[in-house]
Amino acid sequence: MKSKIDVSICIVNWNAGDFLGRCLKSIQETTANLSCETLVVDNASSDGSQIGIAEKYRNVTLIENKDNRGFATANNQALDISKGEWVFFLNPDTELLPHCLDDLLLYLKEHSSVGIVAPKLLNSDGSIQRSVRRFPNFKTAFYRYTFLKKLGLFKKDELLNKMKGFDFSKEQSVEQPAGAALFMRKDLLDKVGWMDPEFFLFYEEVDLCYRVKNRGYEITYYPKAEAIHHSGKSRQKNRKNIFLPTVKSLFHYFNKNVGIKQTRRFKWVFKPLFILSTIWDVLEEALSYLVYRIKKDEYRANRKKQLFSLKAEFLKKDLFEFLFKA
């Protein structure tokens, strides 16, 4: 028997501001031909972005958490009450362009070997966002998060991971599309498992894509469907220390998908290099702050001061947990 709902759209909100309203408005304007439900899980936002959305936008169900439960857990809360045959994981800082959801749904219906399909993402200014990558590995983690980046080691591995030269005008099979907009089959999601709640922030969608690939399904980048992703704009307004949650998620991903023993050896090298890089960054940000203050460039000075504070806070508050518990 066919479900009354075609698509369940799952959105996790945390202080997304007016981006959430713009996202919901775009859903309302572009899904007239579909039976959709929109499930918004709010992770204890303090900016009031969640207030009144269920009344203002049709077919929106709001779940309000009293604390921030993380991205994966919040998505699972939405899945737990979802009724759709298809699931669309969508960030609150996205806006669907006309026919985006229709095109994604039709594509999956016509391609049974595809488990996940992702649209072309555009930046706020309309330029193409680089929204696909290969799965991470130890070398790319060293380059991305440690002092080795400053030495240029593993740069080729990082460029390969970021798929330099990828043609964003062509439909292609990929490993890891950006988690800002992922459309997939609900029955496949039930088979491979929902998002892993051990990931508080980041890498939860990478892990999900990895599991889908392991089941033998393709993951497709489909440029005919388009959405705007105001990438990072919400985070810029909500500066918090995310270094520890990020690396903990990275370690968990490697433990699951590479191996516990290999990851343990990786961490022995990674941790001191990460600390060295953070100390260097603290000194560099402090010096840059002073330079911009002398130049009376308040914007850049404040930016450097903010980065300095976040990294110094990590060294002060999170260093013990990072070294001995992560």
pLDDT of 276 higher than 80: yes
pLDDT, residue 324, reads 95
pLDDT, residue 2, reads 46
Range list of H helices, the chain: 18-30, 53-56, 71-81, 100-110, 138-145, 148-151, 155-161, 186-192, 204-214, 233-237, 243-257, 260-294, 298-313, 319-324
Among 161, 177, 210, the domain boundary falls at 161
pLDDT, residue 231, reads 85
Closest CA to 282 of 309, 260, 262: 309
The structural domain count of the chain equals 3
pLDDT of 165 higher than 80: yes
The pTM (predicted TM-score) of the whole model is: 0.93
* Averaged pLDDT for residues 123-148: 97
Q: What percent of the chain has pLDDT over 70?
A: 96
In this structure, the answer to whether residues 174 and 33 fall within a common structural domain is: yes
pLDDT, residue 121, reads 98
Asked if residues 247 and 326 have their Cβ atoms less than 8 Å apart, the reply is yes
In this structure, the answer to whether residues 201 and 293 fall within a common structural domain is: no
Task: Provide the token pair at 238.
Answer: 């909500």
Q: Give a yes or no: residue 316 inside a domain.
A: yes
pLDDT of 205 higher than 70: yes
Taking the C-alpha atoms of residue 207 and residue 158, their distance in angstroms, rounded to an integer, is 19
In this structure, the answer to whether residues 87 and 19 fall within a common structural domain is: yes
pLDDT, residue 4, reads 80
In this structure, the answer to whether residues 202 and 319 fall within a common structural domain is: no
In this structure, the answer to whether residues 106 and 63 fall within a common structural domain is: yes
Taking the C-alpha atoms of residue 32 and residue 58, their distance in angstroms, rounded to an integer, is 11
In this structure, the answer to whether residues 119 and 41 fall within a common structural domain is: yes
pLDDT averaged over every residue in the chain: 94
In this structure, the answer to whether residues 142 and 92 fall within a common structural domain is: no
In this structure, the answer to whether residues 186 and 304 fall within a common structural domain is: no
In this structure, the answer to whether residues 127 and 140 fall within a common structural domain is: no
- Domain of residue 127 covers 7-131+168-236
Give the CATH number for residue 201. 3.90.550.10
